[in-house]
Chains A and B, each alone.
Chain A
Amino acid sequence: MSDIALSVSQPNEKPVRSAARTFRTIQTVCIFIVALVIISPLFLLVVASLKDDRFQILADMGSFRAFWVSDPTLNNFKEVGHFSGELAFGRYLFNSLLILVTTVGAGVIVNSMAGFVLAWGTVKGRAAILSIVIALYVIPQESIIMPLVIMVSRAGMTDTFAVQIVPWIASPLYIFLFYQFFAQLPKELLEAAQIDGASIFRIYRSIFMPLSLPAVATVSILTGIETWNQYLWPILVTQTDYARPIAVAIATFFGQDSIYWDRAMAASALMMIPILGLYLAFQRWFVSSFVGSAVKG
């Protein structure tokens, strides 16, 4: 038993046991209430996005009507869901999804190949590369972003999809996570395949990668969340609609004198949907991937 605040129930004494059960039920209900309070702002977002009148949204905020909508409407979504023009959130959402899928896909391939060679390769200098990779992890994105902007603008890459994808494909953290995962797989896998004459790339692709679903899931989820929530980099390198991601587009609501809360709420809900869908489908993977990223000190 690993419970902390509770005293344990004694198996042989029945009354104590049922009392403990009642206690546990009350406790669970209380925790549910705490959870609902904590995620209530998210309910508020969903409810407000279904209200048509932006002044009504603000007026309702002061009371429990903030959590209730009497005549739900999808008008806000229709209003912002265009693919061109001023409220082209359909397009921004598509842009974000495109950037997400390419970054995650390329990231998994590039980082896993590097991690595999660092774990099982014979190339000289692997140890040196590994320690450089670990050292690079300390550098925060914020402190390289200024020279990086100069570099990409000199290269004429501003306002493209590539500029939002290519710089963030290779990552010291994910190379390290793959390295760690591959290194703990048994050596016999490699040796048996080598005796059969398989090339090193073949061994990586057909034997090690299929066994690495947990690592692939971890890296995909972490890269995905990071890419989806990028804000600083895209505002520096996108000026037009062409490749603007949805996060940057939503932030522009705050630049106006009077904020269109109805539209902002609908756009935010649009941005929540894909990540929420993935989260509901792969919840356990999400949680364990965050643990994985924290293991290294």
Chain B
Amino acid sequence: MNMQQSPVPSLAKQKRPARSKSDRGRLLQEASMLAPAVLLLTLFLIVPFFLSFWTAMTNQPLVPRPTPLRFIWFTNFVRIFHDDLFWTALWNVSRFTFWILPVQCGLAFATALLLHQKMPFRNLLRGMFFLPAITSMVVVCVIWGTLFQYPTGPFNQILGFVSGGYIQPIDWLGDPEWAMFSIVLLSAWQAYGFQMIVYLAGLQGIPDELYDAARIDGANAVQRFWHVTMPGLRPTHVFVLLITTIQAFKLYTQVAILTQGGPKSSTETVVHYMVRAGFEEQKMGYASAVSVILFVIVLIIALVQRQLLRRFDV
């Protein structure tokens, strides 16, 4: 990218010879204003990105070893696809996505609908609903770690109380059946605020005239919701669902802190699998291959999003 800067002054000179000197100075200034960003992006984003494809086809270790680095083509990918744990991780992330979409987006949509109405203290209420979104995931893990306590944590007490002792205490994070669902609950709580804000912006984007027209036509509140609000929010729904899906596939922090992928690999995720391969087993080539697969997944979701949004924008 830096190469583009050198021929430019001479081209500009040919175009407008009268102002060539000040033009050259200006172009030099522009180039130096652009340079830090271009340099940093190249060094810390573009280079590692392309490097990951190359590393993925080598037996690169974490620390340099005396044995020579070998180029092993797609062996890492073949190994990954033959590893049951990788498929478990992919399956778990899919399960997580399947649960988090209705829970998190539903919560975000419901709260946005509540807050969109005219009422006193609206900004204060918005601020309260948005608080979890600025809470760091590590802090969320500390808090929810106590909420999930077995057998006498708050959730178990509430469940026991509501059901009159009928529901036995659940080992939220220790039971393979429940662990991923528990991660879903705390993740949704932490992140729904962002989607709520996006929905609020979407709701504000629906012109009031549409509601007035619907009212004149005799539509009641429910009909207005289904025939004005929902169609008006279609691009917002697509955006929110896909951004949540991408986030879900990158699930890592809460799992790494609370369950380390357990119990019985029930919360193993793609990123956690990658980090383990790279750092516990020191197989950087293998880990890079996983990261390439992750990129391809995210790219596909992003392309689907772009296609869908383009369709709705027209």
Interface stretch (choices B80-88, B98-106, B293-301): B293-301
Q: Does A70 contact B (CB under 8 A)?
A: no
Interface string of B13-51 (1 = CB under 8 A from A): 000000000010111011101101110110011111101
Asked if A123 meets B31 with Cβ closer than 8 Å, knowing A3-B117, A291-B197, the reply is yes
State the main secondary structure of chain A at its contact with B: helix
Query: What residues on A are CB-neighbors of B25 within 8 Å?
Result: 199
Q: Does B72 contact A (CB under 8 A)?
A: no
Q: Does A74 contact B (CB under 8 A)?
A: no
Asked if A200 meets B26 with Cβ closer than 8 Å, knowing A143-B52, A229-B136, the reply is yes
In chain B, what residue has the closest Cβ to A128? Answer: B4
Q: From B27, B132, B211, B274, give the contact of A146 (CB < 8 A).
A: B274
In chain B, what residue has the closest Cβ to A125? Answer: B4
In chain B, what residue has the closest Cβ to A34? Answer: B114
Chain B nearest CB: distance from A285 CB in Å?
12
Asked if A116 meets B33 with Cβ closer than 8 Å, knowing A268-B138, A291-B198, the reply is yes
Query: What residues on A are CB-neighbors of B144 within 8 Å?
Result: 41
Q: Does A272 contact B (CB under 8 A)?
A: yes
Q: Does B271 contact A (CB under 8 A)?
A: yes
Establish whether residues A264 and B27, one from each chain, have CB atoms under 8 Å apart when the complex forms. Answer: no
Q: How large is the interface on A (under 10, 10 to 19, 20 to 34, 35 or more residues)?
A: 35 or more
Query: What residues on B are CB-neighbors of A118 within 8 Å?
Result: 34
Number of interface residues of B (CB under 8 A): 119
Query: What residues on A are CB-neighbors of B180 within 8 Å?
Result: none
Asked if A167 meets B117 with Cβ closer than 8 Å, knowing A2-B206, A41-B147, A151-B51, the reply is no
* Beyond A42-B132, A128-B4, A291-B200, 6 additional pairs, beta carbon < 8 A: A139-B49, A144-B45, A146-B278, A151-B51, A170-B40, A287-B197
Q: Show the binding face of A for B, using Cβ within 8 Å.
A: 1-8, 24, 27-28, 31-32, 34-36, 38-39, 41-42, 44-45, 48, 57-59, 61-63, 66, 110-111, 113-114, 116-118, 121-125, 128-129, 132-133, 136, 138-140, 142-151, 166-170, 172, 175, 199-201, 204, 225, 228-229, 231-232, 235-236, 247, 250-251, 253-254, 259, 261, 264-265, 267-268, 271-272, 275-276, 279, 283-284, 286-287, 290-291, 294, 297
